[in-house]
Structure 1
Amino acid sequence: MKKRQSCFLFALAILLASCHSEVKENPEVYSEDWTSLAKHNEEPAWFQDAKFGIYFHWGVYSVPAFGDEWYPRHMHFKNRKEYQHHLETYGPLSDFGYHDFVPLFKAEQFNAREWAALFKQAGARFAGPVAEHHDGFSMWDSNLTPWNVGDKGPQKDIMRELKTALTAQDLKFMTTFHHARNLQRYADVPNEENYGNSHYPRFEGTAPAEDDHELNYLYGNIPEEQWLEEIWFGKLKEVIDNYQPDIIWFDSWLDQIPEQYRQKFCAYYLNEAQKLDKEVVIVRKQDDLPLNVSVDDLEKSRKNKLGKKVWMTDETISKGSWCYTENLQIKPAVDMIHVLIDIVSKNGVLLLNISPKADGTIPADQQEVLRAMGAWLDKYGEAIYETRPWHTYGEGPTIEPEGDFKNHREFLKIKYSADDLRYTTKGNTVYAMVLGVPDSEQPLLMKAFASQGADVNIKKVTVLGSKETVQWQLKEDGLFIEQGYPVMDTMAQVFKIEI
């Protein structure tokens, strides 16, 4: 009996040692170095399939509704229109600082279920808030700072309500972080250029310059080592632990965060996701994280060629501010659909920003655009969702400029026409999308099917949304769609080519 027990205990010890060895060597357990972190699948299939998400610049900066979401910074500079507006509307900065807007941010009309239903209707596959902008105010119930929606302003956990409502709509949950800029770091010279990497300037007589324990947490007036551990990393850890986001997206200035902290965040996020058996996505701008760990993001711009890896564009629904301001001009739905199609054809994902009011309502004109996008996607979404790039993204006279955000004004001028085609593919199907209303009295040539470009054997050509027969011919110079084909949409017509 004792011999059998000894054998059993010995075998158990070997088994436990083996399990321990497997865990230790498991490539899915990430350490704080880029080689280990690169084992993570930075572009999981669900993200490649999703194509379209929605987020929103909504916070204390929505209260003044003037200028843009950089109001907290610009209000301090005498050469800015925000400074003059603030002086005339609220009085001197010594009497009314940015922190005095916080009690006015009440979100009294906010309804997470209505927002989630709208995003679902718009055709989004993921959504979530700007968790914290440069201004230092947290849009979740935080234990790390007194400046959060649970303790001040709305006095409710906005992020919790959103996570619950979005999950109920079967949408992946996203949080975006812009707080790398919040730390006060600058040369001690009172002009705007010397505050380039700090959101708040420390001008005498203003709140960012006060040595006040509570105000310091809003204005980033904290020793750097403490701020890096407790604020930059601490807030990320708190959101990961309490809300388990599927995507974490970073704004610029991540290069101001020491590499060891960037690695520390990535390892923590990926290890926590592994515990939950979920694949998560890290999105970055600039070159702040390796692309074998993260997805590249292009602000208000996009690629003019097919991307080898999945990438993202963060674009806003307006022509101006990212947050709500009075008289905000909204782009038409047709332009947003064309941007989405162009991005997807080049292996990209669109993250569209909307701009709610401080009271928590989404303006009617923005809702109208989202519903129009959703109506198009409801009819023709099979050409977008779960697709992959074809051998070419498309053809036509409209070519996007080179560059990133520096050319965002040029991207704003782009208008596509029925002469521009974009392609996607899924299984044995190629989708050709015409970015406008084609003239069906004339044949339509799709040059990408030329014999030297695509070796295909076409079985059938149809127009999505129509049961009419489409006549076609495959010639050396491309696929000819003969005149008389049905025109089904005024925003973008979709041809389905089965091969």
Structure 2
Amino acid sequence: MLNFETRTGPDFGAAAPTYPAQGVPEWYRDAKLGFFVHWGLYSVPAWAVQHGEGVNIPAEDAYAWHQYAEWYGNTVRIAGSPTWERHQQVYGPGTSYEDLADLWDASAFDADAFVGELVGAGAKYVIPTTKHHEGFCLWDTATTGFNSAARGPKRDLIGEFHDATRRAGAKFGVYYSGALDWHVSDFPPIESDTDLFRFRRHDEHFSRYSAAQLDELVERFSPDVLWNDIEWPDGGKGNDEYAVAALLNRYFDAVPEGVVNDRWGVPYHGFLTREYRHIPGILEQPWESTRGLGYSFGFNQAEDDRHSLSGEELIRMLVDVVSKNGNLLINVGPAADGSIPDLQLAAMRAMGAWLGENGDAIYGTRPWIRFGEPLAPVRYTASSAGVHVHAIDPSAGEVPLPAELAGRDARWADGSVAEVAPTPNGVGSLVIPDRLRGSAVAVATVA
């Protein structure tokens, strides 16, 4: 996946705009866990080609056989692709992708119950997609009739998400597709990474359109996180009032403790994003790992438990990311009706239960002097309470620890205390209590 912080758009030289000076606020660094919610027209077909172990798709076919169900609006336009073929069979040649707006029934969506599941799973912030690349807006916008208040659900879904998230006491953010909008564009389908940046609008009219939508979102919802995707139109990167610099300055005037990501295509960004990527070590700059519970962000009904993270895998991923100075933005992809599929719920609830016992070793922590040990199944986080040792293979019965921790007391999450016993070679060994050996990750705090 691409690193977006290195893409900085046109060089304006001495006429370069002035960007905000805000960094990444402490609340964001303390939060550690957020939930993405990818929900849109793509949730009606809810389908993409299965990916995973044993599936080998040539690079040149990656877009025709896209793993993301939320890219249905693009893959369905690639003649002969599996998505195109399935669409003909299910909906027929006379039904376009945008016609699905009138088939979208969100009658099972209860915002408070939905957000309650996310907060129960440990989320400190919630970021729904307000407009994905398809161009369908999920709020009652004055900029276009192609929105959920006018068609399909006939509801201001983002308004409902916002209100429920605030009531739940979590931070609220918005995802917005800044430079890709297939509804107001007339390009061939994207079939390569080159096409991803070639087939998009950069004109002033579209730049103003995007700016008006983002201004609406900020004015209506004062989002704590502004999460832009796949850059901004080049026509909106200068010194104009509708350009990125002015937009971000207006945003921080409205939300001084807000934060943005790195996907604007300009020299300014807040936290780094890493999508479906394993990071080998600590990153000095605050960053966020994001992915779906399966191989897609949008719900893919073709996936089953072979393609989706279990509760144990999700917990271990969270621990690994936090040990390396990151936040985890894990995604839930609801069905079209607004319900969370059982497979996703099971993993979410397992993580919530684990955090209920071990949250002090995650929330508000910072990296230790290293994230783990090269040959040992262990990760570290640190706080004022000490060094939190995360044994990621508790069934082993003990965890080897470095000399820095040898001879010190460790308190396990069950309240028991044990010494990190020094060994003849100068390192330490910590025995894991029997009760914790079946956990996804067993946690001890070394004071």
Pair in the same fold by TM > 0.5? yes
What is the alpha-carbon distance in structure 1 between the residues aligned to residue 26 and residue 76 of structure 2? 44
Q: 2:45 aligns with which of 64, 69, 82?
A: 64
* SS of structure 2 residue aligned to 1:284: coil
Q: Residues 472 and 254 of structure 1: is their aligned pair in 2 closer, same or farther, counting only changes over 3 Å?
A: same
Shift of 1:471: 3.0
Shift of 1:107: 0.7
1:299 corresponds to which residue? Answer: 275
Residues 149-185 of structure 1: per-residue CA shift (max 9 Å, x gap): 1111111111111111111111000111124112677
Gapped runs of 5+ residues in structure 1? 1-31, 201-219, 398-418
* SS of structure 1 residue aligned to 2:179: helix
Contact (CA 8 Å) 2:407, 2:419: kept in 1 or not? no
Shift of 1:294: 1.5
What is the alpha-carbon distance in structure 2 between the residues aligned to residue 355 and residue 164 of structure 1? 20
Aligned residue type for 2:82: K
More off after superposition, 95-104 vs 249-258: 249-258
1:312 and 2:291 correspond: no
Aligned residue type for 1:393: F
Counterpart mapping for 1:13-412 below 5 A: 36-37=19-20, 39-40=21-22, 42-67=23-48, 68-92=69-93, 95-182=94-181, 192=191, 196-197=195-196, 224-230=203-209, 232-254=210-232, 258-260=236-238, 264-275=243-254, 278-285=256-263, 288-290=265-267, 293-318=269-294, 320-329=295-304, 330-397=308-375
What is the alpha-carbon distance in structure 2 between the residues aligned to residue 325 and residue 497 of structure 1? 43
RMSD between aligned residues = 2.8
* SS of structure 2 residue aligned to 1:197: helix
Shift of 1:56: 1.4
What is the alpha-carbon distance in structure 2 between the residues aligned to residue 393 and residue 290 of structure 1? 29
Q: Residues 227 and 36 of structure 1: is their aligned pair in 2 closer, same or farther, counting only changes over 3 Å?
A: closer
Q: Residues 366 and 475 of structure 1: is their aligned pair in 2 closer, same or farther, counting only changes over 3 Å?
A: same
Gapped runs of 5+ residues in structure 2? 1-14, 49-68
* SS of structure 2 residue aligned to 1:309: coil
Q: Residues 107 and 434 of structure 1: is their aligned pair in 2 closer, same or farther, counting only changes over 3 Å?
A: same
Contact (CA 8 Å) 2:420, 2:428: kept in 1 or not? yes
Contact (CA 8 Å) 2:371, 2:381: kept in 1 or not? yes
Shift of 1:272: 4.0
1:460 and 2:417 correspond: no
Q: Residues 182 and 462 of structure 1: is their aligned pair in 2 closer, same or farther, counting only changes over 3 Å?
A: same
Residues 195-240 of structure 1: per-residue CA shift (max 9 Å, x gap): 923798xxxxxxxxxxxxxxxxxxx8x882211112x111111100
* SS of structure 2 residue aligned to 1:70: helix
What is the alpha-carbon distance in structure 2 between the residues aligned to residue 478 and residue 352 of structure 1? 39
Q: 2:400 aligns with which of 431, 445, 467?
A: 445
Residues 66-108 of structure 1: per-residue CA shift (max 9 Å, x gap): 221111111112131111112222222xx22122100111211
What is the alpha-carbon distance in structure 2 between the residues aligned to residue 236 and residue 478 of structure 1? 57
Contact (CA 8 Å) 2:299, 2:333: kept in 1 or not? yes
2:9 corresponds to which residue? Answer: none
Q: 1:473 aligns with which of 421, 424, 429?
A: 421
More off after superposition, 488-497 vs 138-147: 488-497
Contact (CA 8 Å) 2:42, 2:70: kept in 1 or not? yes
Aligned residue type for 2:117: L
In the superposition, the TM-score normalised over structure 1's length comes to: 0.75
Q: Residues 445 and 198 of structure 1: is their aligned pair in 2 closer, same or farther, counting only changes over 3 Å?
A: closer
1:19 corresponds to which residue? Answer: none
* SS of structure 2 residue aligned to 1:85: helix
Contact (CA 8 Å) 2:77, 2:189: kept in 1 or not? no
Shift of 1:241: 0.7
Counting aligned pairs with the same residue, the percent is 26
What is the alpha-carbon distance in structure 2 between the residues aligned to residue 254 and residue 36 of structure 1? 15
What is the alpha-carbon distance in structure 2 between the residues aligned to residue 353 and residue 257 of structure 1? 31
What is the alpha-carbon distance in structure 2 between the residues aligned to residue 475 and residue 436 of structure 1? 20
Q: Residues 378 and 172 of structure 1: is their aligned pair in 2 closer, same or farther, counting only changes over 3 Å?
A: same
* SS of structure 2 residue aligned to 1:141: coil
Aligned residue type for 1:308: E
Contact (CA 8 Å) 1:389, 1:424: kept in 2 or not? yes
Aligned residue type for 1:288: G
What is the alpha-carbon distance in structure 2 between the residues aligned to residue 427 and residue 241 of structure 1? 38
What is the alpha-carbon distance in structure 1 between the residues aligned to residue 104 and residue 212 of structure 2? 24
Number of equivalent positions: 407
Q: Residues 79 and 169 of structure 1: is their aligned pair in 2 closer, same or farther, counting only changes over 3 Å?
A: same
Aligned residue type for 1:233: A
* SS of structure 1 residue aligned to 2:196: coil
What is the alpha-carbon distance in structure 2 between the residues aligned to residue 303 and residue 255 of structure 1? 29
Q: 1:422 aligns with which of 379, 387, 397?
A: 379
Residues 122-148 of structure 1: per-residue CA shift (max 9 Å, x gap): 001000211111000001110001011
In the superposition, the TM-score normalised over structure 2's length comes to: 0.83
More off after superposition, 79-88 vs 379-388: 79-88
Structure ranking higher on relative contact order (CA contacts 8 Å, 6+ apart): 2
Contact (CA 8 Å) 1:34, 1:263: kept in 2 or not? no
Residues 291-326 of structure 1: per-residue CA shift (max 9 Å, x gap): 6x41110001132111111100111111x2221122
2:441 corresponds to which residue? Answer: 492
Residues 456-493 of structure 1: per-residue CA shift (max 9 Å, x gap): 796521211233x3133346955523547445142001
